[in-house]
């Protein structure tokens, strides 16, 4: 075929890969199940699109991402005790008296609910090892931020 009948930028139409976050992929049992469910759902949607003659490139890219996250997952069993660790539900109070409750989870699971905090976030890292009654601090974008841990639990 003559180059006159091809688009100059065909090579640029490939979808870029979804970047896989660096570092370990710690997951809770719930987080691992969410990844597997997302993979099954996406595979079913891909099959339906393929049956209709649709483009499946985006499905394939997202399935590669999910496969990488699932195969690289490090399952962390439910914790226990009074220290904030991966999987803990932590209630904090900030300097203004505002209270919030978070569960410290993996990166992908944290994207599903704003009450979930990725383990690698500055707040979660500051809380690791702390107990109820402890005050933790971390460098925020404008100043040092402090909060007091009110409760640490591993209840579902």
Q: Is 139 exposed, middle or buried (0-12, 13-18, 19+ CB in 10 A)?
A: exposed
How high is the pLDDT of residue 4?
43
Q: Which phi and psi (to 5°) does residue 20 adopt?
A: -90, 125
CA pair distance 84, 13, nearest whole angstrom = 46
Q: Which of helix, strand or coil describes residue 80? A: coil
How high is the pLDDT of residue 69?
96
The model's pTM is 0.82
Same domain as 64, residue 118: no
| Residue 6: pLDDT over 80 | no
Parent domain of 40: 23-75
B/e letters for 49-62, b = 16+ CB within 10 Å, e = fewer, are eeeeeeeeeebeeb
Instruction: Please report, rounded to a whole number, the percentage of residues in the chain having pLDDT higher than 90.
Output: 79
Query: What's the gap between Cα 150 and its chain centre?
Result: 25
Same domain as 69, residue 94: no
Distances (CA, A) of 54 to 44, 49, 58, 66, 143: 13, 5, 11, 21, 50
Residue 42 belongs to a domain: yes
Same domain as 105, residue 60: no
pLDDT band (50, 70, 90) for residue 13: low
Picking from 66, 77, 65, the residue whose alpha carbon sits closest to that of residue 26 is 77
Domain termination site, one of 75, 110, 141: 75
Same domain as 107, residue 68: no
Tell me the average pLDDT of the chain: 90
Least confident of 9-13, 14-18, 69-73, 131-135: 9-13
Q: Which two tokens stand for residue 101?
A: 């409750």
State pLDDT tens for residues 19-30.
988 889 999 999
Give the best-scoring range by mean pLDDT among 20-24, 117-121, 138-142.
Answer: 117-121
| Residue 11: pLDDT over 50 | no
pLDDT band (50, 70, 90) for residue 1: very low
């Amino acid at each position: 075929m003559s180059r006159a009948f091809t688009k100059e930028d065909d090579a640029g139409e490939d979808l870029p890969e979804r970047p896989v976050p660096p570092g370990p992929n710690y997951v809770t049992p719930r987080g691992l199940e969410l990844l597997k469910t997302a993979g099954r759902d996406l595979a079913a949607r891909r099959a339906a699109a393929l049956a209709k003659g649709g483009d499946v490139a985006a499905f394939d890219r997202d399935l590669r991402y999910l496969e990488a996250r699932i195969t690289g997952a490090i399952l962390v069993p439910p914790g226990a005790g009074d220290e904030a660790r991966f999987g803990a539900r932590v209630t904090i109070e900030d300097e203004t008296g505002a209270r919030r409750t978070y569960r410290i989870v993996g990166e992908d699971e944290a994207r599903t609910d704003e009450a979930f905090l990725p383990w690698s976030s500055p707040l979660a890292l500051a809380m690791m090892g702390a107990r109820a009654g402890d005050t933790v601090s971390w460098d925020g974008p404008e100043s040092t931020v402090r909060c007091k841990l009110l409760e640490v639990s591993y209840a579902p």
